[in-house]
């Protein structure tokens, strides 16, 4: 009985999340510079199941980067996105119609600082976000802004070697201050870095490392992430002096791990992999490096320059909330996997999509609970969703598979709230179909709204409501009460305490 009556808190943030480089397009308009996202070429022969373990982007050198910039033949989908730059009013109106009271989007760094090292921002770029933020606020939504989501200006890679160079601390902090100064009265919730923990998966698009500009990749990755920790703290320090209402969050890509067996070796190995992931939130939320990381650096001859001044800054400027994306869980086998987060094993109990991303709402409940128990800081579900090759017919998509996925995951959030966890937002990924980050496909769709564009950008770009549009609208309108929390087939219910 009690379950039927559950509803989400009145002030809960329901919305959706996007990234500039996957929606905006207009890559060469109004003074925008080129970024890492603009050189992700679409590959129609890509192996969807295997692309994650060998991300070609990470192999980029100065030469391959220049070749992509000069390439006249290939199609680079993130240069065109889903045309949000021209259709933002229509898209925000659709979100409003669904009942969103919040919208997470990112600002494109190369629109504001085209090369990244200028001293003055590009006013034309800022004007675009003046309009977007005004529209979002007018629609009754709280803007949640990511400052950097996989679009480092290319010049910062070729000239400075990316985030491993301490000069980027100054460049990104300057960019962040411009945003805070301009939007502090309208935007209270900021995420400086998208998914900060994927340094092995995304050393190119997250850290800006080119293979010809590093002699020691592992050391450079950890130096780059340290520099990002320092940037977070600098941003927090500036924001709290500007307006104490501003909240700055750290964001992880959740990699919930399960041990393959109850062999103690599997348990300890899994604990270590999870702990390695927590490290990326430990430093910004607790203000210091955990001992196991310092030991790892020492025993592996990894020299990260952490100054006394850095330690003080980190200690005194911890962040306000934890945001994380959750798509699927991973399973680990101590005999076949290593500490490299890209190595995982199959989970025979879970089914997945064409890209091998499994459906596991219990994994999300588990993740939320672990984070809360560890940090006791407010939690934002910054991304969640089910990528699928939708079939568009008669002007719509019957996406019951997406509804089922989202329903179960929202129920997982509900269970955590019932436990007393402060989860304050649920922001499904890509509410209006957008270009995939990992594969640059348009056909890996997450949206409540179908966008008539294919993998080569062909189509009208027009928007069509899917079945999930109306379903999510009802969820929001009823504060989640419209969900069936007592469905006996719901994995969340099956796993109830006995
Ligand atoms: C997250 C990213 O990793 O996952 C998004 O923050 C991304 O940018 C999302 O789009 C889904 O990944 P993909 O590869 O399916 O687009």
Residue among 144, 386, 429 whose CB has most ligand 1 atoms within 8 A, to mutate: 429
Please state, in angstroms and as integers, the Cα–Cα distance from residue 219 to each residue in 164, 284, 295, 304, 341, following that order.
9, 20, 14, 7, 16
- Residue 235 and residue 157: Cα distance in Å, rounded? 22
Residue nearest to ligand 1 atom 4, measured at CA:
437
Residue nearest to ligand 1 atom 7, measured at CA:
437
Q: Given this model, what pLDDT does residue 50 score? A: 79
Report the separation in Å between the CA atom of 488 and the middle of ligand 1, taken as the mean of its atom positions: 31
Share of the chain above pLDDT 70, in %: 97
Mean per-residue pLDDT for 238-253? 97
Residue among 37, 148, 201, 383 whose CB has most ligand 1 atoms within 8 A, to mutate: 383
CB 479 within 8 A of CB 414: no
Report the separation in Å between the CA atom of 436 and the middle of ligand 1, taken as the mean of its atom positions: 6
- pLDDT level of residue 493 (50, 70, 90 thresholds): low
Count of CA atoms in the C-beta half-sphere (13 A) of 407: 21
Q: Which of 98-102, 330-334, 492-496 has the lowest mean pLDDT?
A: 492-496
Share of the chain above pLDDT 90, in %: 91
CB 227 within 8 A of CB 283: no
Q: Tell me the average pLDDT of the chain.
A: 95
CA dihedral (388, 393, 396, 402) in degrees, to 10, reads: -20
- Ligand 1 pocket member 206 (CB < 6 A): no
Report the separation in Å between the CA atom of 150 and the middle of ligand 1, taken as the mean of its atom positions: 10
- Ligand 1 pocket member 384 (CB < 6 A): no
pLDDT in tens, 367-393: 999 999 999 999 999 999 999 999 999
Phi, psi of 418 (to 5 degrees): -60, -30
Tell me the helix, strand and coil percentages in the chain, rounded to 5: 40, 15, 45
Residue nearest to ligand 1 atom 9, measured at CA:
437
- Ligand 1 pocket member 436 (CB < 6 A): yes
Query: Based on the number of CB atoms within 10 Å of its own CB, is 405 exposed (0-12), middle (13-18) or buried (19 or more)?
Result: buried
Q: Given this model, what pLDDT does residue 48 score? A: 87
Distance of CA 408 to the CA centre of its chain: 20
- Ligand 1 pocket member 425 (CB < 6 A): no
pLDDT in tens, 254-293: 998 999 999 999 999 999 999 999 999 999 999 999 999 9
Give the pTM.
0.97
CB 64 within 8 A of CB 414: no
Mean per-residue pLDDT for 220-241? 98
Q: Given this model, what pLDDT does residue 496 score? A: 74
Q: Given this model, what pLDDT does residue 488 score? A: 66
Mean per-residue pLDDT for 229-243? 98
pLDDT in tens, 103-112: 999 999 999 9
Q: Given this model, what pLDDT does residue 494 score? A: 65
Q: Which of 21-35, 56-70, 87-101 has the lowest mean pLDDT?
A: 56-70
Q: Can you tell me which atom of ligand 1 is nearest the CA of 195? A: 6
Report the separation in Å between the CA atom of 185 and the middle of ligand 1, taken as the mean of its atom positions: 29
Report the separation in Å between the CA atom of 43 and the middle of ligand 1, taken as the mean of its atom positions: 17
- Ligand 1 pocket member 317 (CB < 6 A): no
Count of CA atoms in the C-beta half-sphere (13 A) of 150: 26
Please state, in angstroms and as integers, the Cα–Cα distance from residue 441 to each residue in 81, 91, 182, 206, following that order.
10, 20, 34, 19
- Ligand 1 pocket member 444 (CB < 6 A): yes
Q: Can you tell me which atom of ligand 1 is nearest the CA of 430? A: 10
DSSP assignment, residue 36? G
Q: Can you tell me which atom of ligand 1 is nearest the CA of 444? A: 15
Report the separation in Å between the CA atom of 297 and the middle of ligand 1, taken as the mean of its atom positions: 29
Residue among 437, 443, 455 whose CB has most ligand 1 atoms within 8 A, to mutate: 437
Q: Given this model, what pLDDT does residue 69 score? A: 96
- Ligand 1 pocket member 333 (CB < 6 A): no
pLDDT in tens, 440-480: 999 999 999 999 999 999 999 999 999 999 999 999 999 99
Helix pair angle (264-286, 361-375), 10° resolution: 60
Q: Given this model, what pLDDT does residue 451 score? A: 98
Q: Given this model, what pLDDT does residue 1 score? A: 46
- Ligand 1 pocket member 19 (CB < 6 A): yes
């Amino acid at each position: 009985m009690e379950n039927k009556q559950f509803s989400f808190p009145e002030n809960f943030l329901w919305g959706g999340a996007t990234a500039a480089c996957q929606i905006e397009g207009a890559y060469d308009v109004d003074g925008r510079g080129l970024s890492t996202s603009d050189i992700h070429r679409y590959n129609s022969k890509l192996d969807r199941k295997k692309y994650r373990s060998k991300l070609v982007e990470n192999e980029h050198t100065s030469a391959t980067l220049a070749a992509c910039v000069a390439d006249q033949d290939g199609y680079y989908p993130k240069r065109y996105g889903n045309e949000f730059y021209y259709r933002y009013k229509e898209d925000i109106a659709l979100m409003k119609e669904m009942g969103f009271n919040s919208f997470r989007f990112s600002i494109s760094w190369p629109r504001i600082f085209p090369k990244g090292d200028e001293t003055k921002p590009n006013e034309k770029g800022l004007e675009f976000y003046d309009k977007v933020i005004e529209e979002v606020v007018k629609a009754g939504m709280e803007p949640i802004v990511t400052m950097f989501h996989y679009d480092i200006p290319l010049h910062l890679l070729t000239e400075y070697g990316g985030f491993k160079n301490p000069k980027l601390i100054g460049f990104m902090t300057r960019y962040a201050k411009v945003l805070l100064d301009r939007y502090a009265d309208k935007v209270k919730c900021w995420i400086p870095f998208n998914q900060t923990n994927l340094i092995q998966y995304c050393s190119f698009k997250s850290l800006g490392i080119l293979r010809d500009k590093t002699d020691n990749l592992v050391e450079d990755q950890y130096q780059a992430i340290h520099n990002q920790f320092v940037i977070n703290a600098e941003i927090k320090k500036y924001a709290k002096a500007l307006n104490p209402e501003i909240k700055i969050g750290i964001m992880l890509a959740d990699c919930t791990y399960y041990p393959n067996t109850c062999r103690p070796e599997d348990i300890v190995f899994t604990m270590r992999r999870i702990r390695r992931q927590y490290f990326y939130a430990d430093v910004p939320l607790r203000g210091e490096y955990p001992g196991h990381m310092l030991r790892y650096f020492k025993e592996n001859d990894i020299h990260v320059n952490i100054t006394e001044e850095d330690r003080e800054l980190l200690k005194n400027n911890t962040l306000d909330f934890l945001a994380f994306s959750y798509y699927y869980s991973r399973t680990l086998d101590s005999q076949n996997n290593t500490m490299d987060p890209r190595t995982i094993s199959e989970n025979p109990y879970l089914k997945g999509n064409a890209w091998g991303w499994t459906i596991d709402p219990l994994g999300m409940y588990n993740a939320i609970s672990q984070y809360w128990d560890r940090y006791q800081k407010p939690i934002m579900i910054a991304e969640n969703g089910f990528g699928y090759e939708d079939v568009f017919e008669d002007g719509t998509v019957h996406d019951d598979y997406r509804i089922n996925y989202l329903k179960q995951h929202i129920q997982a959030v509900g269970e955590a709230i019932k436990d007393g966890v402060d989860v304050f937002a649920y922001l499904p990924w890509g509410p209006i179909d957008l270009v995939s980050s990992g594969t640059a496909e348009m056909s890996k769709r997450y949206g409540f709204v179908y966008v008539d564009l294919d993998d080569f950008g062909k189509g009208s770009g027009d928007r069509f409501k899917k079945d999930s549009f109306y379903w999510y609208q009802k969820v929001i309108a009823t504060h989640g009460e419209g969900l069936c929390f007592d469905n006996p087939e719901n994995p969340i219910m099956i796993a109830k305490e006995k």
